[in-house]
Amino acid sequence: MAQLPKDKHITYQLQYRKCGKPNCSTCRTGRGHGPYWYAYWYEGTRLRSTYIGKTRAQANVSDAPPAAPLQARHETSPPEDRSKN
């Protein structure tokens, strides 16, 4: 595994990968192999990435922030209309 930069903002992402073998049933009938963790960061204008592993714990603990809990993407109640005041 490549060394992750200490001075860059790193984004971690789960991805599935296709192996390219013509007879692979995993790739032919599904999303591919995985999911696997990858780290992404910019060096200048170029996007760099590196394979982390099957679990994010395989990255250095100091490099990987704790996984954030899932947040709701919508309000549970409509926003208050303040234009009537």
Answer whether residue 32 is part of any domain: yes
Domain span at 17:
11-58
DSSP SS3 for 28: helix
Answer whether residue 15 is part of any domain: yes
Answer whether residue 68 is part of any domain: no
pLDDT digits (tens, 9 = 90+) for 31-59: 999 999 999 999 999 999 999 999 877 65
Among all chains, which residue has been given the structure tokens 């099957």? 54
Answer whether residue 52 is part of any domain: yes
DSSP SS3 for 57: helix
- What's the whole-model pTM score? 0.61
Strand stretches in the chain, DSSP E: 11-17, 33-43, 46-53
Q: For residue 77, is pLDDT > 50?
A: no
Answer whether residue 43 is part of any domain: yes
For residues 66 and 76, what is the distance between their CA atoms, to the nearest angstrom?
A: 26
pLDDT digits (tens, 9 = 90+) for 54-69: 987 765 544 445 554 4
Q: Structurally, how many domains does the chain consist of?
A: 1
